[in-house]
Chains A and B, each alone.
Chain A
Amino acid sequence: EPEVTQTPSHQVTQMGQEVILRCVPISNHLYFYWYRQILGQKVEFLVSFYNNEISEKSEIFDDQFSVERPDGSNFTLKIRSTKLEDSAMYFCASTRRGVDEQFFGPGTRLTVL
C-alpha cells in the first residue's frame, strides 16, 4: 500500500542552523501539508501546498520557514535559522483531493539545542 515517507526520522541541530526536512508524498496525490506537534501540545497546521504554490499558511509559518517541491516527488520544509522552540515532531501529509482523508508520514523529530 502506498505510504508517505519522511527523512530523517530524527534531526538534532544547533540553534541558528538551517534544517531541511524531507517528505515523499504518495505519488498521485496533489495536496501536501506540513504539521508539527510540540511535546504535550496539539498537532498544529503549518502550511498547505497545491499546484506548486502555498495555499494557506499559519501564523507559525513565518519568514524562517519555506516549502518546496523541487522535483515532482519530494516535498521539503526548510527552517532557515532554527530556534529552541522549533523543537517538535514534524509531520508531512498528502491527499489526492482536498476533501479526502489525509495520509500522514511517520514524522521527523527535530531537536534544537
Chain B
Amino acid sequence: ILNVEQSPQSLHVQEGDSTNFTCSFPSSNFYALHWYRWETAKSPEALFVMTLNGDEKKKGRISATLNTKEGYSYLYIKGSQPEDSATYLCAEGGYQKVTFGTGTKLQVIP
C-alpha cells in the first residue's frame, strides 16, 4: 500500500443495520491514524486518533480498531441512524503531514 485507501467508496444501509468500513495505509513510518466524519456543507469533524497497534476506540455507537503491522483500520457503526449519513474520512500522519483517503460515503435509509 503506497497511499491511504478506503473501501467501499459508498454504502447504503437501512436504519438499524450495523456497518463497517476499511482504511488501508502504508505500515512503514506509521505515525497516527485519524477518522473524521464529514457532513455535507460542514467541516470534517474528528472522531478518533489512534497511534498504537491494537488500539480500539469508541464514541457512542461508533468504534474503530487499528492494526499498524498490516496497515489497516476498521470503523464500525452499530445500529445506523439517518443522522449517521456522512462521508467518513481516514487519514494517516502526524504533526507534520497528514494524508487523507478518498472517503466512504454512507447513506442511512430510514
Q: Which A positions have Cβ atoms within 8 angstroms of B?
A: 4, 31, 33, 35, 42-45, 48, 50, 55-56, 58, 91, 95, 97-107
- In this assembly, does B79 line the interface, its C-beta being within 8 Å of a C-beta of chain A? no
Other than the known A101-B49, A102-B34, what 13 A-B pairs have Cβ atoms closer than 8 Å? A35-B100, A42-B101, A43-B91, A48-B97, A55-B97, A98-B95, A99-B94, A102-B46, A102-B98, A103-B46, A104-B36, A104-B45, A107-B43
What are 6 contact pairs spanning A and B, CB under 8 A?
Answer: A45-B93, A48-B97, A50-B95, A91-B44, A97-B95, A99-B31
Q: A105 contacts which chain B residues (CB < 8 A)?
A: 43
Is B95 in contact with A99, judged by CB distance below 8 angstroms? yes
Question: Among the listed B49, B98, B103, which residue makes an inter-chain contact with A45, where contact means beta carbons less than 8 Å apart?
Answer: B98
Is B100 in contact with A43, judged by CB distance below 8 angstroms? yes
Produce 1/0 per residue, B66-110, CB < 8 A to A.
Answer: 000000000000000000000001010111111111110000000
- A33 to B46 alpha-carbon distance, docked (Å): 15
Q: A104 contacts which chain B residues (CB < 8 A)?
A: 36, 43-45
- In this assembly, does B53 line the interface, its C-beta being within 8 Å of a C-beta of chain A? no
Question: Among the listed A45, A55, A101, A106, which residue makes an inter-chain contact with B99, where contact means beta carbons less than 8 Å apart?
Answer: A45
**A42-B100, A42-B102 in contact; A98/B94 too (CB < 8 A)?**
yes
Is A99 in contact with B51, judged by CB distance below 8 angstroms? yes
- A103 to B36 alpha-carbon distance, docked (Å): 10
- A41 to B37 alpha-carbon distance, docked (Å): 16
Is A55 in contact with B96, judged by CB distance below 8 angstroms? yes
